[in-house]
Amino acid sequence: MDAAAGTAPAGRALVRPPGPRLAEGIVTHAARRPVDVELAARQHEAYVTALRAAGRRVRAVAPADDLPDAVFVEDALVVCGDLAVLGRSGAPSRRGEIPGAEQAARELGLRIERIKEPGTLDGGDVLDVGGTVYVGRGARTNEEGICQLARLLGGRRVVPVDVRGCLHLKSAMTVLPDGGLIGVPEMVDTSVLPCLRVAPEPEGAHVVVLGPDHVLMAASAPRTAARLAADGLRVTSVDISEFEALDGCVTCLSVLVP
């Protein structure tokens, strides 16, 4: 989950290197185009470098070379405090990514719970904003998965959010360091949300909070980056074009761990 509003995030991140079959990854909303696997590897290294430069201690999840989408490690688990909830994707081909993520979570000393059948849940649908957890309801995460997550997070306010025209909730909106939301209103049910700041371009909906005044964004969102910088935020931009070709964004490529 993203850092809670008003607090500086702690210092660990899980990542998973892209495998040789990356170009075979699932494409749902983007127009499929060729993916340069070697370029993707370099872009992933630059992404990891940006996390480290922000003070994150980066731990690599074991490679899963037979699973094209495994690089999008965020979908495999949700971390809240010392609890890791293992997901169960609505895309059956992605469920093999879970064992490696579980091993990494155990090595970090996290408690393990899991979403069970018939529930489905992708971590990319889970957005922590202070005391509220918004969970996208769509193709990858169903009502039963949301209910199971709410029970496992006992005491947290969990708000389902219908998503449309995008893969995950965090494809449509994320949280800024001050706890405000930024995103694309057309892609989410805004009736269950507080004020949503409109991103100048769709890629601007994707923000990783690296510190109380520091965010990580894709290079494909220059107008949003300029606007946030004008508001006093430090913006680090990284090129993730090869992952964007697979419906990916900056949030998908890591799990921030307290």
pLDDT in tens, 179-206: 999 999 999 999 999 999 999 999 999 9
Which residue in 80, 166, 249, 252 is the catalytic one? 252
Cα 99 from chain centroid (whole Å): 19
Domain range annotation of the chain: 12-257
Q: Span 220-246, mean pLDDT?
A: 98
Strands 214-218 and 208-211: antiparallel
pLDDT confidence of 8, banded at 50, 70, 90?
very low
Nearest to 77 by CA among 93, 49, 56, 100: 100
Question: Which H helix or E strand runs over 160?
Answer: strand 157-162
pLDDT in tens, 114-169: 999 999 999 999 999 988 999 999 999 999 999 999 999 998 999 999 999 999 99
**pLDDT recorded at residue 7:** 40
pLDDT of 2 above 90: no
CATH topology of domain 12-257: L-arginine/glycine Amidinotransferase; Chain A (3.75.10)
Going by the DSSP 8-state scheme, the letter that residue 192 receives in this structure is G
**pLDDT recorded at residue 258:** 80
For residues 68 and 19, give the distance between their C-alpha atoms in angstroms, rounded to a whole number.
Answer: 6
10: CB partners within 8 A, 6+ apart? 257, 258
- 168 assigned to active site: yes
pLDDT in tens, 17-61: 999 999 999 999 989 999 999 999 999 999 999 999 999 999 999
For residues 59 and 246, give the distance between their C-alpha atoms in angstroms, rounded to a whole number.
Answer: 23
**pLDDT recorded at residue 69:** 98
Which residue in 80, 166, 168, 206 is the catalytic one? 168
pLDDT in tens, 65-113: 999 999 999 999 999 999 999 999 999 999 999 999 999 999 999 999 9
Task: Match 């371009």 to its residue by tokens.
Answer: 201
